[in-house]
Amino acid sequence: MTETVRRTALVLGAGGMAGAGWMIGVLHGLAEAGTDLTTADLIVGSSAGAVVGAQVASGKFALDALYESQLTAPDGELPARLGPGGILRYTLAVLTSRTPEAYGRKLGRLAGAARTVAPEVRREVVAGRLGPAADWPERPRLLITAVDADSGELTAHDRDAGVPLTDAVTASCAIPGIWPVVELAGRRWIDGGVHSTANAHLAAGCERVVVIAPSATGNKVILSPARQGADLAAAGARVEVITPDAESRQVFGQGSLDPALRVPAARAGRAQAAAHARAVADLWAQ
């Protein structure tokens, strides 16, 4: 990575359909206030953030048009819900793991045993989200995270990885127990948000970093976006971490995987952007 590429980074986290809408709302609101974060030299996307990252990195979507698209009916999407049994399995996996890799292995086994839609059906849905953003951009550098279902290790695919962008994004969005494991490059992959909800550590070395994370959570295994942001700051970066405010959390509380929540989440994100506009502008203008 060259010095120019290392200057600024935009990190987009995991958070389901509602999270994608919320992040686009935040990005649009910040752009309306005068700061376009899509000019970042590096974009890191995990799960929902992988979709949004691919969209904004492609240069094929104006932010205002992308925001307006979030306010329409999400045709072609598959409804999903993690039931009480799934939540219990996730909780047990956290309680019995000491590292993100151990947690990833447990969720990899859960994902492999789950009954889901066919992989090709799920890939078609993700391809529909990406639309014209189906190819890796030359710039900015785009990192799409996924977790190896067998080793539990995090990988960040980029244009040099030799895998199609649509497949990399599908892998990053493969929520264990809900969507099928993705077979890619001879390995089996699950959601990049399993390692952490932001994976902001991948922006290490950048001078200025903005993290937009629909999920602010962390636990004894997974570092929160705030903790990862603090680690980047301790290493010398200027960092702004944006997570949902009270109004946005009310939307997410209804179920972040529900496609119908994309509309209110996008509006909540746009409204919340005003509270961060000055801090982000000051950071990005340096």
Q: Supply the pLDDT for residue 1.
A: 37
And the tokens for 232? 């980047």
**What single DSSP character describes residue 169?**
H
Q: Supply the pLDDT for residue 6.
A: 64
Average pLDDT over residues 205-232: 96
Predicted TM-score of the model (pTM): 0.95
Give the tens place of pLDDT for each residue, 223-236: 999 999 999 999 99
Q: Supply the pLDDT for residue 85.
A: 86
And the tokens for 52? 């949004």
Catalytic residue among 41, 148, 167, 191: 191
Show the CA angle centred on residue 61, arms to residues 55 and 64, nearest 5°.
115
Average pLDDT over residues 192-196: 97
Average pLDDT over residues 245-262: 89
Catalytic residue among 47, 58, 215, 256: 47
Query: What b/e sequence results for 18-47 when a residue is b if at least 16 CB atoms lie within 10 Å of its CB, and e otherwise?
Result: bbbbbbbbbbbbbbbeebebbebbbbbbbb
Output the average pLDDT for the chain: 94
pLDDT grade for 2, boundaries at 50, 70 and 90: very low
Task: Give me the count of residues in the chain.
Answer: 286
Q: Supply the pLDDT for residue 250.
A: 93
Q: Supply the pLDDT for residue 84.
A: 83
Task: Look at residue 181 and tell me whether its pLDDT is greater than 90.
Answer: yes
Q: Supply the pLDDT for residue 279.
A: 97
pLDDT grade for 79, boundaries at 50, 70 and 90: confident
* Axis crossing angle, helix 165-172 with helix 119-130, rounded to the nearest 10: 110
Q: Supply the pLDDT for residue 3.
A: 42
**pLDDT-wise least confident of 32-41, 76-85, 185-194, 216-225:** 76-85
d(C-alpha 203, C-alpha 12), whole Å:
11
Give the tens place of pLDDT for each residue, 103-155: 999 999 999 999 999 999 999 999 999 999 999 999 999 999 999 999 999 99
Q: Supply the pLDDT for residue 90.
A: 92
In order, the DSSP letters of 92-119 are HHHHT-SSHHHHHHHHHHHHHHS--S-H
Is 47 among the residues known to form the active site?
yes
> Computed over its alpha carbons, how large is the radius of gyration of the chain?
17
